[in-house]
Amino acid sequence: MQPSRFNIISRLNDSRDFFVVNLLSGQADLLSEEEVIFLERNFEKAPTEFLEKGYLADPAREMQQYHLRYIDFIEKRDQEEVQVFFVPTYQCNFACSYCYQSEYSAPPENLSPEIVDAFFSFLHTRLRGRKKYITLFGGEPFLNGKSYKASLAYFFEKCAENSLELAVVTNGYHLDQYFDLLSQVKVREIQVTLDGPEQIHDRRRPRKGGRHSFKKIVENVDQCLALGYSINLRAVIDRENMAELPALARFAIEKGWTGLPNFKTQLGRNYELHYCQDARNRLYSRVELYQELYRLIKDHPEILEFHKPAFSVAKFLSENGSLPDPLFDSCPACKSEWALDYSGNVYSCTATVGKPGEELGTFFPELKLNETAISAWQERDSLHIDKCAECSLQLACGGGCGSVAKNRHGHLLAPDCRPVKELLEMGLDLYFGK
């Protein structure tokens, strides 16, 4: 018997307690220092419980179990619902200070019915037999202007005709102009971004020409919630607005949003995706962002009422009393996620959509796909990335983001490491610490 290669052992932040998390056996425990020594160095004398829980294992049997769980994972993933993003335009009425798409060309065009028909035909052919839903993405999909909106109306008609649910990622400014179209389809969720309370939000996410956007977005969120739409409020965080998070949390609490069943939140890390940002020094690394968030939550626990960060698997464990299934792959690109745009191009996901050189083929004027490039995305998982296959964090991390890995290393079969241990140190302390 040996210590399992999937044990993640470390010490809780601000505590004398240690923890072990093992995603393969599905077990987790708080440990004393003495028990850690049993696990790491003196395992012949370890209690039998450690063997039962898979913290100690026969390496050959453990690898057998690992391969069986991998097969399960792939089977489940092949049955998963597919999220298909559609970009009706790359134009936007906002001038966000950190937009990664601001250098993409955005010719002013209305969406043609031929493109819409070809998009739905792609869903019926390429994704035949898969459960799926559509997410409108941009640019900004809800622009002002009669002829643009009229061109989008046909898209909504086709969603309804095909009984496909629709989600929308919008800056929220012209949402009220689209309630009539939204009422024709089954809306899964509307994602809107607020980067903080009014002053900071308006500085980071002004309309083009520098005009404010906060008040109008808040009104639209109120209306959506009253109409029963599910709102996913996103805040994009960096060093400029992190300190404002408690104020944003209090704002949402005072509005009564956080008590509603159709309101949820997400925090996005502002990060450098494809090209230099105007103020790169305001970006956090993943671990820095969570360290700052952890400190802020300790001082302002009301943040948790607004948003409960995942801290790797810590939140899942605290809410479910068990660990999630092993994560062999954290990148859904070309597996359960695709992104297509109004020009007829096909991409792997939202990170690559619209980026020159990342096209995987076309769905209009003809369906022509680069199957070799698509296979490369589909084959990417933590088993096929050398560094990941040997990593003890593998089943919590899943190999990270394919697009980030490719930008950094020049190819897809490269890791995009998640600071799993540090996240667990903080998250287990927040959610289980005394």
Q: Which residues bind ligand SF4 (CB under 6 A)?
A: 331-333, 337, 349-351, 382, 385, 387-388, 391, 393-394, 397, 399-403, 415-418
Q: Name the phi and psi angles at 200, rounded to 5.
A: -75, -40
Minimum Å distance from CB 400 to ligand SF4? 5
Q: Which is nearer to ligand SF4, 242 or 391 (CB)?
A: 391
Q: What's the closest the beta carbon of residue 353 comes to ligand SF4, in angstroms?
A: 9
- 189 contact partners, CB below 8 Å, separation of at least 6: 167, 168, 229, 230, 231, 232
For residues 170, 316, 133 and 259, what is the CA-based torsion angle, rounded to 10 degrees? -50
Shortest Cβ distance from residue 352 to ligand SF4 (Å)?
A: 7
Q: How far is CA 340 from CA 84, 122, 343, 350, in A?
A: 8, 10, 8, 9
Nearer of residues 28 and 401 to ligand SF4, judged by Cβ: 401
Residue placing its CB nearer to ligand SF4 in the complex, 247 or 369: 369
Cα–Cα dist 75/93, whole Å: 42
Q: Of 116 and 346, which has the nearer Cβ to ligand SF4?
A: 346
The residue written with tokens 């008609």 in the block is: 157
* Residue partners of 271: CB distance under 8 A and separation at least 6: 283, 284, 286, 404
Choice between 81 and 114, CB closer to ligand SF4:
81
Residue 104 CB, nearest distance to ligand SF4 (Å)? 16
Residue 153 CA: distances (Å) to CA of 88, 113, 169, 188: 11, 10, 17, 18
Q: Residue 296 or residue 373: which is nearer to ligand SF4 going by CB?
A: 373
Closest by CA position to 341, among listed 152, 137, 155:
137
Beta carbon of residue 333, minimum distance to ligand SF4 (angstroms, whole number)? 4
Nearer to ligand SF4, 178 or 377 (CB): 377
Q: Point out which residues pair with 231 in neighbouring strands.
A: 190, 263
Q: Which is nearer to ligand SF4, 220 or 345 (CB)?
A: 345
CB of 95 to ligand SF4, least distance (A): 23
| Axis-axis angle for helices 245-254, 286-299 (nearest 10) | 60
Contact 138, 88 (CB under 8 A): yes
- Nearest residue (CB) to ligand SF4, 133 versus 154: 133
CB of 419 to ligand SF4, least distance (A): 8
Beta strands 166-170 and 132-136 are parallel
Q: Shortest Cβ distance from residue 396 to ligand SF4 (Å)?
A: 8
User: CA-to-CA distance for 146 and 384, rounded, in angstroms?
Assistant: 49
To ligand SF4, the closest distance from the beta carbon of 386 in angstroms equals 9
Are 205 and 198 contacting, i.e. CB atoms less than 8 angstroms apart?
Answer: no
**CA–CA separation, 286 and 417 (whole Å):** 10
CB-based burial of residue 228 (10 Å sphere; 0-12 exposed, 13-18 middle, 19+ buried)? exposed
